Structures are given as C-alpha cells and as structure tokens.
Amino acid sequence: MSAVLGELRGKVDARELPPADQSELRRVLYGLHVLVKPHVKKEEDAYLPLLDARLTPEQAGEMFERMESAAAAAKRQAGTPCRNDRSGQARLDESALDHDRAAAGKCQACR
C-alpha cells in the first residue's frame, strides 16, 4: 500500500494524475482511513482519561499547542496547499504558522 501511495504522490506532486490514478489514490486513501480511524479511537479511549486525570488545564493547553505546531510543521514540510486557495498554487506561509495563530493554515495571500 505504501509503495502505491508513494508512486501516486509523485504523480500528484508533478500534477500528472490521470483519472485512473485518481481512482486508485482514492481507494488507497480510503483504505488507510479504515485502518487509522479505529486505531486513533482506541488510543483516544485509552489516553484521554489518563490525560484528564493527570494534567492541569494549563498543561493540557500547552500540550495541544505543541501538537498543533507539530502538525503545522509537517504540513509545511509536505508543501500542503492553503485550504482557502482555489488555484492550488499558494502554499502555507511558514512565518504565519510560526508566529500568528490566527493566520495558521492560510497562505500569505489569504491573510
């Protein structure tokens, strides 16, 4: 599955994804979703009660901010397009994600 996904990602990055490959990508992504969703649910069921019992609200807030920052960094590294950009050309602005929480997830043009 990962080999197929890697091959398809190369085509997506090159903007050369024919309709048959679009269907294959959709199939692979749905398959990953089916695998990951119950795994995440199981972890939430196990860890959220522990976190609620052992973290103060401030500690929990700090943890979630760090998680958001890590997710934003991963999106930047992957060159994730801005979700508000209809052309698909704008990329997330690194300084916006690092320094301006209100602008997180938006490209320079959207802010």
Residues 48, 69, single domain; the answer is no
User: What does the pLDDT average to over 23-44?
Assistant: 92
User: Containing domain of residue 94, as a range?
Assistant: 56-111
Q: How far is CA 102 from CA 20, 72, 106, in A?
A: 39, 13, 9
Express each pLDDT in 45-98 by its tens digit: 999 999 999 999 999 999 999 999 898 888 877 776 655 555 555 554 444 444
Express each pLDDT in 11-32 by its tens digit: 887 788 888 888 888 898 899 9
Residues 44, 85, single domain; the answer is no
Residues 81, 47, single domain; the answer is no
pLDDT, position 18: 86
pTM over 0.75: no
Residues 48, 29, single domain; the answer is yes
Residues 6, 42, single domain; the answer is yes
Using alpha carbons, select from 89, 51, 97 the residue that is nearest to residue 71.
97
Residues 92, 66, single domain; the answer is yes
Helix, strand, coil distribution of the chain in percent, nearest 5: 75, 5, 25
**What are the two backbone dihedrals, phi and then psi, of residue 81, each rounded to the nearest 5 degrees?**
-70, 155
